[in-house]
Structure 1
């Protein structure tokens, strides 16, 4: 087993976390904040849009079971990487599409994933996903962890998470 990690931002972390938790080979998914200037930001800090942080998930995965390239295919399928600082009704830099890498190898894989998405993906506009070197990752408050699992009837989750889970199911079924 070879454990790796990647940090992904693509809108509200509540929407990304439950998708990646269902992916075979993913060992853990943590909601948090990264890419900003404030040390140990809170949710309230990040929501101001003034800290530079993105809501993100840290995905730890067994690269002998699933590759980073496969994870990025899922990432680019379940969120819209063509809208700048926005996913649906969530607007602000904290909702930007970004990949936070921690090695040159990950950077290369991410660049290739963007090129592949622009060439063969479902999106008709250019990708605005940023590639940012991972510096710090701050775990979000406990009430954000497993939010969808703890709050399945939450209206926001029903509207935003369910379509992403359906897209994941489509990806899984197409690989069979």
Structure 2
């Protein structure tokens, strides 16, 4: 008997390589796709166009998850604690509107949950949370070479300097929500 309750979440918090790597480790996540959303330029944007900052798009990931295994609320808590939601249009060295902290909700219940999570977490940060909460209009899948980037490029400088520490933080804060990554599993 299959009791999966599959839902979608679309979020962005800096480079999509980082967010994708984080959510590939979380229990209940079936698929993570890097892409772009929230822009106003016509047609499907390219990475180069989005990086210019002129399209209005954010680098995001679209997550297919089983809500019977991980709730949307827990997913957002992991998201909000795996990046800095208090820096406007910036995550570390990544600067520009394409790196903004954003939750694109798919329906009214997701919007309500996002608003509650942001409100509940605000006291854990010294600075105000600037995470945008907006309705998802269109999601564009990023180019193939961006998909599963960390797994395919762990030795690359950005991956080892930025993503590997994020994953260590994830394992420390949310070990109970992660897939079993032990050898032989």
User: TM range, normalised to the smaller chain?
Assistant: over 0.9
Query: CA 1:32/1:175 → structure 2, altered by over 3 Å: closer, same or farther?
Result: closer
Specify which of 40, 44, 47 is matched with residue 40 of structure 1. 44
Summarize deviations over 1:31-69 as a string: whole Å, max 9, x none.
000000122000011011010000000011000000011
Unaligned runs of 5+ in 1: none
Please identify the structure whose Cα radius of gyration is greater: 2
Summarize deviations over 1:51-101 as a string: whole Å, max 9, x none.
000000001100000001101110011100000000000000000000000
In the superposition, the TM-score normalised over structure 1's length comes to 0.96
Query: CA 1:44/1:175 → structure 2, altered by over 3 Å: closer, same or farther?
Result: closer
Match of 2:32 in 1: 29
Report deviation, 1:5: 0.5
Report deviation, 1:175: 7.0
Specify which of 153, 172, 175 is matched with residue 173 of structure 1. 175
The RMSD of aligned alpha carbons is 1.3
Match of 1:148 in 2: 150
Query: CA 1:175/1:49 → structure 2, altered by over 3 Å: closer, same or farther?
Result: closer
Alignment of 1:19-168 (within 5 A): 19-38=22-41, 39-119=43-123, 121=124, 123-168=125-170
Find the residue that maps to 2:165 and give its secondary structure.
helix
